[in-house]
Structure 1
Amino acid sequence: MQHVRILRRQVVSTVVAAILMGACWAGVAFGFEESPELKALVDAVKLPPVEKRLPKEPLVLTPLESVGTYGGTWRTATFGGGDSEIERSIGYTRLVRWNPEWTEVIPDIAKSVEVNADATEYTFTLREGTRWSDGEPFTADDLVWWNENVLRNTKITPAAPDWLTAGGETVKIEKLADDKVVFKFAAPNGLFLMNMATVRGSDILAAAPAHYLKQFHKDFNPDGVDALVKAAGATDWVQLFNNKIGFPGRWRDLGRPTLDAWVLTAPYNGTTQVVGERNPYYAKVDTAGNQLPYFDRITIDVMQDTQAIILKAISGEIDMQNRFIETTDARTVIVQNQEKGGYGLFIARPAWSNALLITLNQTHKNPALRAVFSNKDFR
């Protein structure tokens, strides 16, 4: 499967600045700055100052080339239906994440993580003062609530995902402090952090804003949830709740608080444009102390096929895009129309570990080959 990455020349400096590589805090000393849009809201007393909106120790990201500038819209596109472009482009926020080289899992929303010797306990220290996009605090209580009332609720989660189970038991989260939790497994789970850094990790945070989701949970809103079910056209409260936390349902929900860089202002409905605007409480800054993101907003046009996305790129309506292109002819069109569309192509590291897999038949009919193929040292 061939991936084509499109980058318009007019937005190169901003996009490159937004492809953030490193993360640190020690030795960084600066006052915080914010976008003119948010500064205007602060001046109008409609938003707290940036220092009050950021964590005590925000995540500092080092730009690939230089610090960026505020403003503009990132225009991209996706398919209708079950496509995960939205999740991959603006939904990659979790407790930990992969570094761009795919060599190490590093802290993201969490400040740090400690693992015990047998990989049965993972202790996360959160960034004190982190807030959801609506200004409400993100604390250990959110994660404990998710564990007890979402993951362990068999109506909502009939069977816990494999990566959240070990020794036949579902992970248990305990609060150690407002900014510290421990994930406890009944047996070693050495791949837990690697899984947490994938798209799976966003499922936790999507289901964690307890102050918002309680209204859709029968145990916390027994008298009012039925009216919400009826208004949403859901079958019951369980379907309504899962729509709020699952993909792609959560991208249809304008009211759901997030920790991502942009907050939905026009939802995903499978056919029209998705719009996200800057999260004023985003917990990350660059090395100059500028609260991220740089772009004011992102627009994602929902198209029905690859050809439609290609035509948008050629007509200059795509700023940056990472998509697979199914046919050689389509890839040729993309390459040949770079000057006309005002874009260039760039190479991105693939998200999969291997593009080719060779599996030897360990039950081969030839006994000699069967013996060789069954030898682990040979394989």
Structure 2
Amino acid sequence: MRILHVFADWKWTGPAEPVLGLCRALRDRGHEVHLACPAPPPEASNSLETQARARGFEPIPGLHLRPGFHPLEIRADADALAEWIGSRRPDLVHVHTSHDHLVGVLALRRVSGRRPPLVRTNHKGVPIAPSWGNRRLMHRTAALLGFSPRALAKDAASFGLRPERTFAIPTALDLDRFDPARGDGAKGRAALGLSPADIVAGVVARVQRHRKWRELLEGFALARKSVPRLRLVIVGRGTHREAVAERPARELGLGDAAVFAGYRSDDYLDVLASFDFQIFLVPGSDGTCRAAREAMAMGKPLVASRAGMLPEIVDHEKTGLLAVTEPGDLAKAFRRMAEDAAMRERMGNAARRKALADYRPERQAEAVEQAYRTILSGQFP
């Protein structure tokens, strides 16, 4: 099959990595895969375009694909994509966000002759807003793919999609990269100023206002009263990090018990390996909670909330603990993890087994390929 993927974000964040991973896995299965994405600004140090080229893809040039209402850019992108589709004749067009969904619909309306079916993936892990605009777009969409069966069922009801037009697909992860053997926990602890005796709880997330930092920090402070060796490492950056997390940590008297590690690149696996368990409370732009799944692949148990897909990812009392996002309940979960090394080991091993079974890229590519074949066969109305 010849497949065009369209993704309207230049940043190497959120669903960008999973989208490129899917493109690569489909190519490995013998398909001809093309990618349309915006060029990054000159000052960008990393981007989807850069990563795509490193993996042997040459993105379609000259597209804006800038989220937001920019009528002239949207029209130009639709014209350019229509010309590409008309000349290259892909079997399918696969879009991933609301903006590239709009551009994809407009582009296909401009294509003469046979028009390839349009496929959309919901990466949020929660239902798509049933707005008038989304209803219009879904009406012109052949099929919807999603990672959360619960969200997919609600989307089907909201947009009047027959079950045959919705496909639940597994999430995927680079399991060769996220292998416990590839991370040096002792090296990671040394880089962060942590001792071998510390019990380390890690968080990997952008420091944003909506991500329940106050509740997390208060819960951690409560837990640390009975487990003084407990340390918190926060990996991530954010414009409001001082106001959202650093100042509250000082106000709670955490001092050097809370380590703000910033964004990590070269030593990311070492830092993950240094954790005894990981905390994940609020999904970000990638609703599949990739940071949580990376921790599982590294053999780390999780303390998670029940937001979004997290209850579908974390098996309570097996691969981690699910907690209410309020300080008392979080503190209880943190204490249990900190005080029971045997439980952490058991849950971490189970998390690794689940990751190996469920997050294989070829498993996702096979499911997407089967969805494509069903769509192209016309086996649904």
TM-score band (shorter)?
Answer: under 0.3
> How does the TM-score come out when normalised to structure 2?
0.25
Q: Which has the higher contact order (CA 8 A, sep 6+)?
A: 1
Higher helix share: 2
